[in-house]
């Protein structure tokens, strides 16, 4: 368990009346010896009340189980009302938070389950009880991962249990057990009456307990126990299922109608003990959601409206109902009740749908009466009638929208769920999934649209430190969207805590073409393949697994294991019944698609296998790798059929549709075409400068596409073996290419984080799919061409029809940023070789600085703003930022520049380089005036003191070094970082240094003494940039985790933060301290700091 884990829950106390059942020993042994699921179920489809949950509680309290799991026993109740993927995902998120304290949420239950599984993998022996499962979809997310976690499942639907589950059947009690429950706490009864009651209840635990409590209630008023028992038996026989046939017969519990009659007879016999109006009030409890703790304060509101009961009378009636075991009652948290779903179903059947709808309305109105009147936030905003967001009861926050919809008040429900005040309340109360689940319950197009808006950003809405910063994150993502814009502006204006507010539209807003993200892999995704059925997707990853997905639903279907290293290629057979994968372990693995059973492991390559293709007839799996061999395997026998010498390492391959020839791409830059039948090389296509990484063949066999390290996609005319077109648009290596089934389009993925869709005929880009945080390593079209799958740090599914060109293709990222001393412009540099100046007021590019031959890695203004320095791998250029003229070029670099800083007077420039050196340059002459050597490994950061008397550097060796630039010597070395240092900032008064790096900690140093004075923790990954505010009171930091944090560094705490969907690698303050710019691969962000 982690240090931040919540304490294990207090186990439920087993009531004295619960008897030990024969099945308990079986279940105890199963959970203590098995590593898979154990299911407590019934042979009676749909039957409840047989004691499955109670038995599970007995098992959890068993001394052997408690010792085995050291009280790490967690009880999660599902229930029939947890329907749909959104609701299941929320339930998994609640379980994750309950067990581990982790607050990350997902809009997909499979992704949420995979996240929980990863966390469970890190924990010692754990017992997870999943109670009252109604369908397999509810259970599946809880079965992922957790190699030391045993799942104990209770369900009345045996088919909901997965294959391999040890099943323990619990139905009617044995005669001895039933007698003990029936007679618990009672004086001895006659044998005839006892046998009659056992037959009338069918030895059904639920009815046995109700009968016992009914007799006990009679006895408590002075009635003789025998008389009370005989009276109860008479009523059950008259009104129950045996009354119409043979009163001496037992209930046939296989018959749902007879079960229902038995429940009616028992409930009616019990409720005659209630005061006047008691049965009506009891029946009204069925309006509440299933398997919920219902606060007595909420029950009181309902009964005040329906029966004019006071709070005291409500509690008295609940006590009477509990004494009869018609409800469960607890004093915890001010008092709540529970209603068994068998009783709830019976009551709903009795009152009918019309009355049930009326009760929903009564409850909604009763709750509304206690809330203040509310007005819309803006003229275009929805208009809720009262301030529903001021509710404090968790039940009402969770269920109000459902009650409104059930009452037929769809318009009212949408007005509430669409109000940002409600969204905030739900976000803080239940987490990121809750607000969009509320909207997804509402059957309107507009509600569905808003639900999608919230679902797409749910991964950014986990709790923050400080908590109030979460509002700013929510506002940042919704403010650019028309349907939310006016509400955001109103609420932003009312903020009283420090917050970062959009000044520019964030560059990483979800692409409208993005359908879903699949994030179950624990490493880079190197391969994707679509099955012929058009909905099944296979993905291969560096985590050594192949995952099979239902891509249309975004559901994980199976996890295939076996490879001993990264999986580099996957492919489905032509009929989709099996698939093959290859990778780092030099083997080829073949599985059955439907069962996930491993069919064969093929070995023969001498090194990594990077390429794989299956012949169109399915008879051969063909592979290629770094050993420069192409090998073909007979799929029927698993034997090696053919080996071809490929001249160079093989990176990709693709068959023609007729299987006559094979195209392969190679690390020597060539694409080779082979006559497959003859095993001979027929053509070598050259043109790529650098490796050719991928190849694809059009369906008609007329065209071959390849992508390479030169950043181009090339289309080759196969008939004449010549280059037909060179497609440019990527800013870095192209790793993957794939034709659509009709050959009209082509998709490519690259290290620039984009997938580009091309029109083959015009050789032009028609869509850019943006959003991946880093490299795109794999691409595939669906067979019908309607969607595309891409793989990188996650898997993304895109709607082809919704895809279009975006500004991201023109920006080139903003991995280096600086602000002009005037505050009028932001300068950025990125992967596309162009430095840009942006107008702060408009957020538009005002000037492009072209000339670099590689990515712009660093950028800096001189203190007077008269010059701008930019660098790439080979040169530093000095520009006049007013007119864009290049003033000077500093040559002589032997390594890339990672950071640079001007002296206070702008006369010299310090550069940190990846060859362990720091150079000092005369800006006017372009000559070197000094070299500072001493770092071991690359230097990642340099900063100059405000008076120019010293400078600081940090790098790969984890040391912070201070230098005298005049004497060109080191004056001090500061240690304390764990790992590399990638960023340094000097306070405006020169008395303090801030540094950040690999270990995710921002450190503060006193320059005069070299003392480490503070370590600021919060980033979930390396810190990439730090910057002091102009007045020195605040410190900004950005990280690979996509956050921008503002610190009150003297108080050693965060003032606020912002989350993005981008790895943030740079930041800089506006000169007046009113805002801050941050940059990353997807572009630049400008925020106002509101204090």
H-only helix segments in 140-271: 175-183, 191-201, 205-220, 225-239, 256-271
What residues have CB less than 8 Å from 85, skipping those under 6 apart?
A: 108, 109, 137, 553, 554, 555
**Residue 841 and residue 910 in one domain:** yes
pTM of the entire structure?
0.76
Residue-wise pLDDT tens digits, 97-143: 888 888 777 777 887 888 898 888 888 888 888 988 888 888 888 98
Q: How many other C-beta atoms can be found within 10 angstroms of the C-beta atom of residue 641? A: 14
Q: Which of 273, 306, 337 is the last residue of a domain?
A: 273
**Residue 674 and residue 788 in one domain:** yes
Cα separation values, 55 from 50, 63, 70, 517, 996, Å: 9, 14, 20, 39, 54
pLDDT of residue 511: 79
Asked if residue 548 belongs to a domain, the reply is: no
* Least confident range of 15-19, 182-186, 683-687: 15-19
pLDDT of residue 450: 93
Confidence of residue 370 (pLDDT cuts 50, 70, 90): very high
d(CA 715, CA 737): 11
Confidence of residue 248 (pLDDT cuts 50, 70, 90): very low
Asked if residue 1006 belongs to a domain, the reply is: yes
Q: How buried is 30 (Cβ within 10 angstroms: 0-12 exposed, 13-18 middle, 19+ buried)? A: buried
Q: How buried is 123 (Cβ within 10 angstroms: 0-12 exposed, 13-18 middle, 19+ buried)? A: middle
pLDDT at residue 808 tops 50: no
Cα separation values, 331 from 339, 745, 1043, Å: 15, 65, 43
Comparing CA positions, the residue from 84, 107, 102 lying closest to residue 433 is 107
* Tokens linked to 119: 């966390």
pLDDT at residue 1078 tops 60: yes
Asked if residue 6 belongs to a domain, the reply is: no
Helix, strand, coil in percent for the chain, rounding step 5:
25, 30, 40
Q: Are 146 and 121 in contact (CB under 8 A)?
A: yes
Residue-wise pLDDT tens digits, 596-652: 888 999 988 888 999 999 999 999 999 999 999 999 999 999 899 999 998 899 999
pLDDT of residue 249: 46
H-only helix segments in 797-929: 808-811
d(CA 847, CA 834): 10
**Residue 1015 and residue 930 in one domain:** yes
Asked if residue 282 belongs to a domain, the reply is: yes
**Residue 855 and residue 735 in one domain:** no
**Residue 1025 and residue 1062 in one domain:** yes
**Residue 366 and residue 460 in one domain:** no
pLDDT at residue 832 tops 90: no
pLDDT of residue 240: 52
Q: How buried is 744 (Cβ within 10 angstroms: 0-12 exposed, 13-18 middle, 19+ buried)? A: middle
Please tell me the total count of domains within the chain.
6
Q: Which domain holds residue 235?
A: 178-273
pLDDT of residue 252: 53
**Residue 491 and residue 611 in one domain:** no
Where is mean pLDDT largest: 194-198, 268-272, 355-359, 770-774? 355-359
pLDDT, mean over the chain? 89
d(CA 143, CA 136): 11
Asked if residue 503 belongs to a domain, the reply is: no
Residue-wise pLDDT tens digits, 551-588: 877 778 888 888 888 999 999 999 999 999 998 888 99
Question: For the chain, what percent of residues have pLDDT higher than 70?
Answer: 94
Higher-pLDDT residue of 142, 47: 142
**Residue 711 and residue 836 in one domain:** no
Question: For the chain, what percent of residues have pLDDT higher than 90?
Answer: 58
Report the CATH number at residue 50. Answer: 3.40.50.300
CA angle 1065, 1067, 1070 (to 5 degrees): 165
Asked if residue 563 belongs to a domain, the reply is: no
d(CA 924, CA 689): 37
d(CA 1021, CA 717): 47
Residue-wise pLDDT tens digits, 676-693: 989 999 999 999 999 999
Where is mean pLDDT largest: 57-61, 267-271, 323-327, 918-922? 918-922
Confidence of residue 286 (pLDDT cuts 50, 70, 90): very high
Residue 931 C-alpha from the chain's centroid: 47
Higher-pLDDT residue of 994, 857: 994
pLDDT of residue 44: 44
**Average of per-residue pLDDT across 758-768:** 92
Q: Which of 465, 496, 527 is the last residue of a domain?
A: 496
pLDDT of residue 50: 60
**Residue 1027 and residue 888 in one domain:** yes
Comparing CA positions, the residue from 995, 913, 921 lying closest to residue 960 is 995
For the CA atoms of 815, 819, 825, 826, what is the dihedral angle to 10 degrees? 10
Report the CATH number at residue 906. Answer: 2.130.10.10
d(CA 723, CA 969): 56
Report the CATH number at residue 362. Answer: 1.10.10.10
Q: In which order are the strands placed within the sheet that holds 671-675?
A: 650-655, 661-666, 671-675, 680-685
Asked if residue 407 belongs to a domain, the reply is: yes
pLDDT at residue 6 tops 80: no
**Residue 314 and residue 445 in one domain:** no
Q: Are 324 and 213 in contact (CB under 8 A)?
A: yes
**Residue 365 and residue 378 in one domain:** no
d(CA 612, CA 587): 11
Start-to-end CA distance of the chain, whole Å, equals 38
Residue-wise pLDDT tens digits, 54-96: 778 888 888 888 888 888 889 888 887 787 777 888 889 889 9
Q: Which of 169, 190, 210 is the last residue of a domain?
A: 169
Higher-pLDDT residue of 42, 662: 662
Radius of gyration of the chain (CA): 34
pLDDT of residue 36: 65
Q: Are 788 and 740 in contact (CB under 8 A)?
A: no
**Residue 136 and residue 191 in one domain:** no
Q: Where would I find the beta strands (DSSP E) of 490-594?
A: 499-502, 514-518, 525-530, 536-541, 546-550, 555-560, 567-572, 578-583, 587-592
Asked if residue 85 belongs to a domain, the reply is: yes
């Amino acid at each position: 368990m982690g240090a931040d884990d919540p304490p294990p829950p207090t186990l439920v106390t087993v009531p004295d009346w619960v008897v030990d059942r024969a099945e308990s020993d079986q279940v105890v042994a199963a959970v203590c010896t098995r590593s898979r699921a154990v299911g407590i179920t019934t042979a009676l489809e749909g039957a409840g009340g047989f004691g499955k949950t109670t038995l599970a509680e007995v098992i959890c309290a068993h001394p052997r189980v408690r010792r085995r799991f050291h009280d790490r026993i967690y009880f999660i109740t599902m229930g029939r009302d947890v329907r749909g993927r959104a609701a299941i995902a929320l339930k998994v998120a609640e379980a994750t938070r309950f067990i581990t304290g982790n607050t990350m949420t997902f809009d997909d239950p499979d992704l949420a389950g995979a996240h929980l599984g990863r966390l469970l993998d890190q924990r010692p022996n754990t017992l997870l009880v999943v109670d009252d499962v109604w369908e397999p979809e509810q259970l599946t997310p809880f079965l992922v991962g957790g190699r030391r976690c045993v799942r104990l499942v209770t369900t009345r639907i045996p088919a909901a249990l997965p294959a391999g589950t040890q099943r323990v059947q619990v139905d009617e009690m044995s005669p001895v057990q039933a007698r003990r429950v029936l007679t618990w706490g009672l004086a001895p009864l006659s044998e005839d009456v006892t046998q009659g009651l056992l037959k009338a209840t069918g030895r059904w635990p639920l009815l046995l307990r109700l009968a016992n409590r009914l007799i006990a209630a009679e006895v408590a008023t002075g009635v003789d126990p025998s008389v009370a028992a005989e009276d109860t038996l008479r009523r059950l026989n008259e009104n129950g299922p045996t009354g119409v046939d043979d009163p001496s017969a037992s209930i046939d519990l296989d018959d749902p109608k007879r079960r229902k009659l038995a429940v009616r007879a028992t409930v009616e016999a019990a409720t005659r003990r209630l005061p006047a109006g008691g049965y009506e009030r009891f029946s009204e409890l069925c309006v509440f959601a299933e398997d919920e703790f219902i606060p007595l304060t909420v029950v009181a509101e309902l009964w005040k409206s329906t029966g004019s009961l006071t709070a005291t009378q409500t509690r008295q009636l609940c006590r009477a109902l509990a004494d009869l075991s018609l409800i469960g009652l607890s004093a915890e948290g001010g008092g709540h009740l529970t209603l068994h779903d068998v009783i709830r179903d019976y009551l709903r059947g009795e009152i009918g749908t019309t009355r049930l709808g009326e009760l929903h309305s009564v409850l909604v109105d009763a709750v509304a009466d206690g809330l203040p009147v509310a007005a819309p936030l803006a003229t275009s905003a929805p208009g809720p009638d009262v301030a529903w967001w001021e509710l404090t009861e968790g039940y009402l926050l969770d269920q109000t929208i459902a009650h409104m919809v059930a009452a037929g008040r769809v318009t009212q429900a949408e007005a509430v769920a669409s109000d940002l005040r409600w969204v905030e309340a739900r976000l803080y109360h239940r987490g990121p999934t809750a607000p969009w689940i509320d909207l997804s319950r509402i059957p309107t197009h507009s509600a569905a649209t808003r639900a999608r808006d919230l679902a797409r950003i749910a991964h950014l809405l986990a709790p923050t430190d400080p908590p109030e910063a979460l509002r700013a994150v929510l506002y940042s993502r919704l403010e650019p969207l028309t349907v939310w814009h006016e509400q955001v502006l109103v609420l932003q204006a009312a903020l009283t805590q420090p917050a970062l507010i959009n000044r520019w539209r964030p560059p990483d807003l979800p692409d409208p073409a993005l359908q879903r993200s699949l994030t179950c892999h624990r490493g880079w995704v190197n391969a994707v393949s679509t099955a012929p059925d058009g909905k099944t997707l296979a993905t291969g990853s560096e985590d050594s697994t192949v995952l099979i997905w239902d891509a249309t639903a975004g559901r994980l279907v199976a996890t295939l294991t076996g490879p001993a290293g990264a999986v580099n290629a996957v492919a489905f057979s032509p009929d989709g019944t099996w698939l093959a994968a290859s990778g780092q372990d030099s083997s080829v693995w073949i599985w059955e698609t439907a069962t996930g059973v491993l069919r064969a492991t093929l070995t023969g390559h001498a090194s990594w296998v990077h390429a794989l293709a299956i012949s169109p007839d399915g008879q051969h799996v063909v592979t290629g790798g770094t050993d420069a061999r192409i090998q073909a395997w007979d799929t029927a026998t698993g034997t090696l059929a053919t080996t071809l010498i490929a001249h160079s390492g093989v990176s990709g391959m693709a068959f023609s549709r007729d299987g006559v020839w094979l195209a392969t791409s190679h690390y020597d830059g060539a694409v080779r075409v082979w006559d497959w039948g003859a095993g001979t090389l027929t053509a070598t296509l050259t043109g790529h400068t650098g490796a050719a990484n991928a190849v694809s063949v059009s369906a008609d066999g007329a065209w071959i596409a390849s992508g390479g390290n030169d950043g181009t996609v090339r289309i080759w005319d196969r008939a004449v073996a010549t280059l037909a077109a060179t497609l440019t648009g990527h800013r870095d290596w192209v790793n993957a290419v794939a034709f659509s089934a009709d050959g009209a389009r082509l998709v490519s993925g690259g290290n620039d984080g984009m997938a580009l869709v091309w029109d083959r005929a015009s050789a032009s880009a028609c869509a850019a799919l943006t959003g991946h945080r880093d490299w795109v390593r794999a691409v595939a079209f669906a067979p019908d061409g309607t969607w595309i799958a891409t793989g990188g740090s996650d898997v993304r599914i895109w709607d082809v029809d919704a895809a279009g060109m975006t500004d991201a293709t023109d920006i080139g990222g903003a991995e280096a940023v600086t602000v002009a001393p005037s505050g009028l412009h932001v300068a950025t540099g990125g992967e596309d070789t162009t430095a840009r100046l942006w107008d702060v007021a408009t957020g538009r590019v005002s000037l492009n600085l072209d000339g670099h031959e590689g990515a712009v890695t660093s950028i800096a203004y001189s203190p007077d703003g008269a010059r701008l320095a930019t660098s790439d791998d080979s040169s530093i250029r000095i520009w006049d930022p007013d007119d864009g003229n290049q003033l000077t070029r500093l040559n002589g670099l032997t390594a890339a520049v990672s950071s640079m800083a001007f002296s206070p007077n702008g006369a010299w420039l310090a550069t940190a380089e990846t060859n362990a050196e720091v150079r000092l340059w005369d800006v006017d002459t372009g000559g070197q005036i000094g070299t500072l050597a001493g770092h071991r490994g690359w230097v990642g950061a340099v900063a100059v003191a405000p008076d120019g008397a010293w400078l600081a550097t940090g790098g790969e060796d984890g040391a912070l070094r201070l230098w005298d630039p005049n004497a060109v010597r080191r004056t001090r070395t500061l240690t304390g970082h764990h790992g590399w240092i990638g960023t340094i900032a000097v306070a405006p008064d020169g008395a303090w240094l801030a540094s950040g790096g690999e270990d995710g900690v921002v450190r503060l140093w006193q320059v005069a003494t070299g003392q480490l004075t503070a370590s600021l923790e919060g980033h979930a990954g390396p810190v990439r940039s730090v910057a002091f505010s102009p007045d020195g009171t605040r410190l900004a930091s950005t990280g690979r985790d996509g956050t921008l944090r503002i610190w009150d560094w003297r108080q050693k705490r965060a003032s606020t933060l912002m989350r993005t969907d981008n790895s943030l690698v740079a930041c800089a303050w506006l000169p007046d301290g009113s805002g801050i710019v941050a940059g990353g691969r997807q572009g630049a962000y400008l925020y106002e700091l509101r204090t």
